[in-house]
Structure 1
Amino acid sequence: MHPQDPVVPELLRHGRIEVTGRLVDASNATLFGEISLDGVAAGCVYKPVRGERPLWDFPDGTLAGREVATYLVSEAGGFGVVPPTVHRDGPFGPGMVQVWVDTADERELVDVRPPKDVPPGWLGVLRARGTGGEPAVLVHADTLELRVMAAFDVLVNNADRKGGHVLAGADGRVYGVDHGLCLHVEDKLRTVLWGWVGTRLSDEVLERVRRLRGALDCGLAETLGQHITRAEVRALEARVDALLADPCYPRPSGYGPAIPWPAF
């Protein structure tokens, strides 16, 4: 089942969750399994609140709430970045439930390559050295989907856009996952998608920012207040207004690292 199947929201809200495994590399409890309702089933990711480790720099609310809030922002603005996500009860208590994204393994969007092996049209982000001292470069594709995702990350103040959090879906769409470290009041943008620094947002991207501004004025701000603090909602509104006033991809703030570690 594709994430955009119209039955997915109802399935996530009311389906029965059967946990079949755990992503052991995740720093917080990240469970996966199957969710089913009336003979319809799909893969899902379930992150119970009780499995979250306290973070000194994200003390308010829950990571699950932030994941749901970023989904609401994505949908309200028409960014289409975050797979369908809900906050509900599950086998281990309340948490975030998100539909599983099957990926097209042959399609890479972010990579580390030797400088002479960068695909035509890709954008460089960072030069580095490999484990053997050989030169390498962090690069990503130049596509509308990634331009949209990069602008979305600016707005939600994503502190953890790793390369592994960018998924080329088997349905042909591009998705971002793991948004628990978003929507802080302080500038914490850390991302591998820095290839457009200083360039103007395209009309397609800017229209999504305008649409989000309108949604915030028409009830979205109140809805987000169920998942994040009022100060964080106001900070989101300020970032939207700032990007509309100066519609260019920003440069790193200079406060703290600009790229998450590890980058993948």
Structure 2
Amino acid sequence: MSAEDGVGEELMTGELTLTGRITTASNATFLGAIGDTVVVYKPVAGEAPLWDFPAGTLARREVAAHLVSEALGWDIVPRTWLREGPFGEGMVQLWQEQDPEQDAVDLFPADEVPTSGWLTILEGEDEGGNRLVLAHENSAALRRMAVFDVIVNNADRKGAHILAMPGGHRHGVDHGLTFHAEDKLRTVLWGWLGEALRDEERDGVARVLGGLDGELGRGLVQLLSAVEVDALAERCAQLLEEGRFPAPSGRTPAVPWPLF
């Protein structure tokens, strides 16, 4: 399994035309097209420097996240690959048109939180002193995403990084801050803290762990350091041994900021 597996020659080598810029992103992020296929393009040259992640590695981490998603078999990360573009090598990902009528994560006034199907994460106040609650839906799709975030050590699972798709599927995007060897899990998906993993979730983690000795591992060593791949294996093994969603740990906050 490599960064280019299943992409196709047209998507790898066809002209990438930029059609706009996504200005809300912290790194240079463009909307573009390869033929009739709409894509997101994040050039390595546009990555902002970070104190805790090596420079010029975020695009590769995004591709690595897609490889792990494929190994899990849960279709969390849209197809993602490395290729040349107008500003040099970068990550390219298939654009996903989410359902504007759905939100998987939301802020509610304290007295308006749905009474069923949602899990409360934290409570606070706005600048006017009004009580607000951050909650996310209690769905199998989000549970799987939470498992994925644990094993890839996602340091930036904001609410806006979860795409609510028609029909109930949930895609996760923006995985540049993943696979650090130190514990950096920051997420809005803490609703299942301490709950036992389901059999299908354990099976998915086991597929990733087993794949590290084969095709998945060969793909990841082209994108991550050996230490980071070893740390991924350790997280998978620990999650299987403990068999439940972990609690926050490490030196970083438990949730990203801003939340969305």
Report the Cα offset of residue 203 of structure 1: 1.4
Query: 1 CA distance for matches of 2:106 and 2:34?
Result: 32
5 Å-filtered alignment, 1:147-158, equals 147-158=143-154
Runs of 4+ in 1 over 6 A off after TM superposition: none
Query: 2 CA distance for matches of 1:170 and 1:13?
Result: 28
Report the Cα offset of residue 254 of structure 1: 5.0
Query: 1 CA distance for matches of 2:70 and 2:203?
Result: 13
Check the 8 A contact 2:47/2:56 in 1, yes or no: no
Check the 8 A contact 2:108/2:132 in 1, yes or no: yes
Query: 2 CA distance for matches of 1:44 and 1:131?
Result: 38
Check the 8 A contact 2:120/2:133 in 1, yes or no: yes
Pairing 1:258–2:254 present: yes
1:59-104, Cα deviation, whole Å (9 max, x unpaired): 1651000000000011012131100000011111100000001010
TM-score, length-normalised on structure 1?
0.92
Q: How many residues align structurally?
A: 253
TM-score, length-normalised on structure 2?
0.94
Q: Which ranges in structure 2 are unaligned for 5 or more consecutive residues?
A: 1-5
- Percent identity among equivalent residues? 53
Aligned to 1:48: 43
Query: 1 CA distance for matches of 2:155 and 2:109?
Result: 27
Pairing 1:174–2:173 present: no
Q: Which ranges in structure 1 are unaligned for 5 or more consecutive residues?
A: 1-7
Q: Give the letter aligned to residue 34 of structure 2.
A: I
Query: 1 CA distance for matches of 2:56 and 2:209?
Result: 24
Pairing 1:131–2:127 present: yes
**Structure 2 SS opposite 1:209:** helix
Report the Cα offset of residue 174 of structure 1: 0.8
Report the Cα offset of residue 241 of structure 1: 0.4
Report the Cα offset of residue 236 of structure 1: 0.2
Pairing 1:26–2:25 present: yes
Q: Give the letter aligned to residue 7 of structure 2.
A: P
Aligned to 2:101: 106
Aligned to 2:16: 17
Please report the RMSD computed on the Cα atoms of aligned residues, expressed in angstroms: 1.4
The partner residue of 1:95 within 82, 90, 94 is 90
5 Å-filtered alignment, 1:181-196, equals 181-196=177-192
The partner residue of 2:113 within 118, 127, 136 is 118
